[in-house]
Each structure stands twice: as C-alpha cells, then as structure tokens.
Amino acid sequence: MLINPNQKRVVNVDGVQLSTVSVDCVIFGLEGDELKVLLIQHDEGPVEGQWALPGDYVKFDFDLEEMPSIVLKQLTGLENVFVELFDVLGKVNRVAHQRVITAAYFALISTEKYELKKGLEARDIKWVDIHNIPDLIYDHNEIIKKGYEALKLKLRTEPIGVELLPKQFTLTQFQKMYETILDIKLDTRNFRKKILKEDILIDTNQKELNVPYRAPNLYTFNAEKYDTLKAKGYFLNIY
Amino acid sequence: MLINPNQKRVVNVDGVQLSTVSVDCVIFGLEGDELKVLLIQHDEGPVEGQWALPGDYVKFDFDLEEMPSIVLKQLTGLENVFVELFDVLGKVNRVAHQRVITAAYFALISTEKYELKKGLEARDIKWVDIHNIPDLIYDHNEIIKKGYEALKLKLRTEPIGVELLPKQFTLTQFQKMYETILDIKLDTRNFRKKILKEDILIDTNQKELNVPYRAPNLYTFNAEKYDTLKAKGYFLNIY
DNA sequence: TGAGCATATTGTAAATTTTACATAAAGGTA
DNA sequence: TACCTTTATGTAAAATTTACAATATGCTCA
C-alpha cells in the first residue's frame, strides 16, 4: 500500500487524478405516522460526536452499486432492501481536508423486525423524524432534503411506498403511508376506489388479528401485475 | 505529482482507497424528426478509433457538477445548457485495466446555431440517431439506453423538451418534439387543447417567416409560470 | 348479553377531463 | 385565381375525478 500525505495530488499511470469516493444512505422508515431517517453518531476522528448519514468509502474490489446494500446489512441485518441512487455530490470542498465525491442513495425499510447495529465506527444510531433532523456533518442535511424530495417525487410515479410496509398491510396503513410521506390528507373512499381499480393490491382474505375493533382486511402488493403495467408505461398518480 | 503504476492500490492519508472518477454525457439534439446523440471517436490510446460518449475525468480543482458544462462548452461552444444527472456506474471492471467510476449526465441542446468541435483527444465527432447507435466502448451503449429512458420518463413529468427547441417555436414543432422523443403519435387537436390550457406557452403573436404555406404562430416557453406551477407540485402528463 | 366504542367499509351524483373525430382558414405558388 | 400545403379549430360521448356521510363489524365492558 502506498500512503500519500497529500491525496489531492495523486494521479494514476495515465496521469489521471484520483478521488476518494463514498456512498451515503438516506434510510427511510415509518414509525406510527412519522417518516423517519436513520442517523449514526461518529465515534472518532475529526467529526467525533457528530451525527451523520450512514455510509462508507468505496473499496477497490466492490462495485459502487453494492455498497449501499452492504451498509444496510451492517446496520440492520436486512438484505434485499429497496435502494435507489438519487444524487451525486462532488463539490471540491464539500468535505474538509479531503476531496470526497459521494453517491447518495435512498433506501426504504419496512416496519418489520430488524435489529439496529451501530457498527464499529459509530458511537450511537437512531431514527429521527424527517421534519426534525439535527445539524449533521458536511452537506448531509442537504442530502437528506434532496433524498426526501426524490422519495416524494418517486412516490407519485411509482408505488414504491409498499417497501415501507410489512408484507401484508391494511388499506388504512397503505393510505396513511401516502399521507405521512407526502404530508397531505386523502379522502378514504376515493383513495380506496382508485387503488383497488388499479388492481395492484391482492386481497389476502385474511384479517388483522388482535385488534380491539372491526378487524381490517390484509392485502399484499401485486408486484408482477405492477411490472407488466409499468412496462406499458404506467403511472400511479395520487394527489 | 506522484505517478503510481498500480492505481488500484493507492490510498490516501486516512488509508482510504482512491478511484478514478469521470463524467459521461449523453447529449441529445433534434434533427428534423430524429432524436440524435453526440458521439466522439477516440484518437489514441487503447480505444483508438472507437466511438464513445463525450466525457472527461474529474480534476482536483473542479466540482464534479461543473464537468458536464465544461465538456459541452468544449464540444459545442454552448453555455447554460440543460444538464441533469441520471446515473452513476461503478462496477469494478466496467473499464478495462482501470477502476473508473463515472457519473452519467444527459444534456439537451437546442436546434440553434453551434459549431461542433471535436477537441484535442477526438479524431471525429458526429450526431447519431438514438435508434441506430453503433457499438461503443465499455458500457456506453448501456449508458445511452438508460439516459434515453431517463429522458422519456422526465419528459412525461416535466416539459424539459423545450430545451431541444429554439427560443421561439411553433405548436407543430412542440408536438413533433414529443412524438419524436416518446415515439408515439398524438392527436393535434387534443394536444393543442391540453397544452394551451396548461398556460405554459406564451403566444408571441409573431408568425414564422419564409414558409411556402400558412405561416404558423410562434410561441415561447413560460418558465416563470411553469416554476410556480411546479412549486405547487405539478405534472404535465402527455400520452 | 347488549350497549357502547373505535375503526372499516361502501355509493352516488355532479363536475371535470379525456377521447374520438373532420373541416375550414391561411398564405404562398404556378 | 385555382391549387397546394400546413395551420387551426369544436363538439359530443365516455371516462375519470371529486365531494360528501351513513352503515357495518368486532371488540370491550358494564
């Protein structure tokens, strides 16, 4: 390994200048009727004690594209999580003392069981309401803001919100998920009419158990049906 | 400058591994009723004679975000061109003999006057129909495909197609732009009804000159009006 | 066991939007 | 002035969206 005190001046064999590349993950989850983001607290180094987005540097032998999944696995133990790129940030001085280009991904994790693990380099880890994010290191507040905008935009063109729900969910949960993320109120009758006509939900004919009132029906997402619709150029617009 | 024969093993002062980072630009233009992409032919090196997307390596002292505009300026002399990130590709072996992570942007340039300059490292430069792209280096065919999909998707949610037209354009040009990009036929009466009701075009009350038939009206895009609409969460859907 | 409570579920009429479809107007050319 | 090419425009039917509130269900508790 070559250690270079001045990373900014390193070039490769072709004279091409090199950069540090990282990934940052805006991990969304639903808790009750709040949309939350997962944050970690750095344990050492120049940003010790400060809160930040989970992320990692891109290693030689890993595809950039697999890095977000690795980060997710480390933090939650979850695999096959929905992850999508939404931005790349590469201003020269976005990170102090180092030039770091970062790929920003958002991830949606469902309200099912997982165990938060802070990892070796973090002192703490927690969920924070999207509307109440503390001051984070570097441009991470800006990244979250863009990630939230990307999520809202995407939610209006694709029903990716199901990724935030358990495998089986009620129509009430489904509606509240849209209301929470988009910060709007929807008419229940019209919402259900529209969603059921879209035919992307499957009625499991099962009812939620152990509720102290009328037991709601459970649905699952019809991914195959949705994929064929999508292939024909389809949008689910909910306002 | 430090020259490293094995770029893959270079790390910075923190022990973080470094990567070569580039930008690639899918530059779209309209020619008649064809959607075209700008390609360059490499002049030397291991890919001599092969066709590729225009691009560049990210230099130490340049923001990643300004690189596409620099590439555009060099090739066409144009400034203030519409540019948008649509992907980042970072598979370990996507480029032979080197690990290169690339940010993929698409750009829309209008059918007004510009002069193509191939630049120092290119042997040739040309416009190629989107439906007839030759074999390109690395994963550039895949990048173009994704860029085209990103353009079509974006065109259905924002009227960015005006970036491909001259400042003043006719409704016929406007309609044909949608038809060309989306590869569909639209009903003229319904299309005009919808567009004019959206109120995002301004009638200049001028007519196109020197046409050997009924002179069409010229319109401009109402960017301010559109921005206020957009701020309220607005989509222009054309099918 | 039945009254009360909390949430789930459902319909309809009016307004709006979308769709399908064809002819007349304008302006230059021969 | 007749002709050619393209521009410009209306209407009725169908489909979708919107606004709006009462009933059904299943549990709890007296």
Cα–Cα distance between A164 and B151 in angstroms, integer? 28
Strands (E), chain B: 2-3, 10-12, 18-31, 34-42, 51-52, 55-57, 82-89, 100-108, 122-129, 201-207, 217-221
- Contact between chains at B19 and A20 (C-beta distance less than 8 A): yes
- Contact between chains at B19 and A15 (C-beta distance less than 8 A): no
Minimal-distance CA residue of chain A relative to B184? A233
Per-residue pLDDT of B73-123, as tens digits, reads: 999 999 999 999 999 999 999 998 889 999 999 999 998 778 899 888 899
- Is pLDDT of B183 > 70? yes
Q: pLDDT-derived band of residue B222, with 50, 70 and 90 as boundaries?
A: very high
**Which whole number is the average pLDDT over A30-59?**
95
Per-residue pLDDT of A119-156, as tens digits, reads: 888 999 999 999 999 999 999 999 999 999 999 999 98
- Residues written for chain B: 239
Can you tell me which residue has the tokens 């037209």? Answer: B165
Q: Which residues pair with A29 in a beta bridge?
A: A36
Buried b (16+ CB within 10 A) or exposed e, B195-223: beebebbeeeeeeeeeeeeeeeebbbbbe
Q: pLDDT-derived band of residue B237, with 50, 70 and 90 as boundaries?
A: confident
For residue B2, the chain A residues in CB contact (below 8 A) are: 2, 4, 9-11
CA distances, B103 to each of A21, A109, A128, A197 (Å): 12, 26, 30, 39
Cα–Cα distance between A154 and A159 in angstroms, integer? 8
Would the Cβ of A113 be found within 7 angstroms of any atom in strand C?
A: no
- Is pLDDT of A111 > 90? no
Task: Say what the alpha-carbon torsion angle A69, A75, A81, A84 is, to the nearest 10 degrees.
Answer: -60
- Is pLDDT of A25 > 60? yes
Cα–Cα distance between B122 and A195 in angstroms, integer? 53
**Which whole number is the average pLDDT over A22-34?**
96
What is the rounded average pLDDT for all residues in chain A?
91
Per-residue pLDDT of B110-158, as tens digits, reads: 987 788 998 888 999 999 999 999 999 999 999 999 999 999 999 988 9
- Is pLDDT of B232 > 90? no
Can you tell me which residue has the tokens 């770029």? Answer: B7
Integer-rounded Cα Rg, in Å, for chain A is 21
- Is pLDDT of B214 > 60? yes
User: How far does B27 lie from chain A, in Å, by closest CA?
Assistant: 19
Closest CA to A163 of A68, A67, A69, A27: A27
Closest CA to A106 of A54, A59, A57, A171: A54
Cα–Cα distance between A86 and A102 in angstroms, integer? 11
- Contact between chains at B13 and A3 (C-beta distance less than 8 A): yes
- Contact between chains at A88 and B19 (C-beta distance less than 8 A): no
Smallest CA–C1' separation from B212, nucleotide:
C28
Q: pLDDT-derived band of residue B8, with 50, 70 and 90 as boundaries?
A: low
- Is pLDDT of A3 > 50? no
Protein contacts on strand C: list nucleotides below 7 Å from a Cβ: 5-12, 18-22, 25-29
Would the Cβ of B204 be found within 7 angstroms of any atom in strand D?
A: no
pLDDT of amino acid A14: 67
Probe site for chain B from A4, A19, A106 (most B CB atoms < 10 A): A19
Can you tell me which residue has the tokens 């009638």? Answer: B203
Percentages of chain A per state (helix, strand, coil), in multiples of 5? 30, 30, 40
CB atoms under 10 Å from CB of A159, counted, come to: 24
Q: Which residues lie below 8 Å from residue B32, measured CB to CB, with a gap of 6+?
A: none
Minimal-distance CA residue of chain B relative to A94? B63
Q: pLDDT-derived band of residue B9, with 50, 70 and 90 as boundaries?
A: low
CA distances, B129 to each of A149, B36, B112 (Å): 34, 4, 18
- Contact between chains at B61 and A157 (C-beta distance less than 8 A): no
CB atoms under 10 Å from CB of A206, counted, come to: 12
In window 159-218 of A, residues with CB < 7 A from nucleic chain D are 187-190, 193-194, 207, 211-215
**Which whole number is the average pLDDT over A68-95?**
96
- Is pLDDT of A7 > 60? no
Would the Cβ of A17 be found within 7 angstroms of any atom in strand C?
A: no
**Which whole number is the average pLDDT over A167-179?**
97
Cα–Cα distance between A133 and A154 in angstroms, integer? 21
